[in-house]
Structure 1
């Protein structure tokens, strides 16, 4: 009986360790949401037409707090293991520059940014911008 208990205890500990490690593996795919942001999970990103965009290239020009832009592209939207989409977007800003970023969101909850639509872009933090759809009532 002692050997059976020991084997069961070891198996239970192994299962517990595997279960505790699983969320860490999934969360490794998700970037951390910047401190002070209004969303608590990527599922919320895009609510009311407000998207947090992880910048890859470019940003809001120095001296500007907000600038108008046009969505050029929305690609690579396959979901990850958590069902979060990491869509790549390009936005041409009114000064002619192009911003490139990743829109981490759940497409089934909040739609993707649409090529051709007009948005307002503001710098949030280093490496992050907020993209606001001009007609937020259309965001649903």
Structure 2
């Protein structure tokens, strides 16, 4: 049996606004928007590849408390996007006044990464944008180390 990550699911106080942000900055495509649980909507976004980004509103009566994603803490730290031009993308984020939490950094194998702040301060505060260079494949790297 084989497995793959099917989706990343986040809760949002305003899922339509969050979805628009991912459409604008990551060329995400709205696959559908529908009621999944009573009183909530879920917007499924195609963000490239096989993993879907689901953005849902809160169920009625639920808490407004958030669990912020933060660098270097336990729990969700970030989710990453691949790009072909990280320098151009980070420049666009800077021009749009999107906070850059970590500037472009090169790591093993020539991979470059940077962290930006997501559309809401809360459960998906930190998004990462990653550029893959030199055909570096993290999954091949992990298999070699196992």
TM-score (norm. length: structure 1): 0.29
Query: Higher Cα Rg: structure 1 or 2?
Result: 1
TM-score (norm. length: structure 2): 0.28
Higher relative contact order (CA 8 A, sep 6+): 1
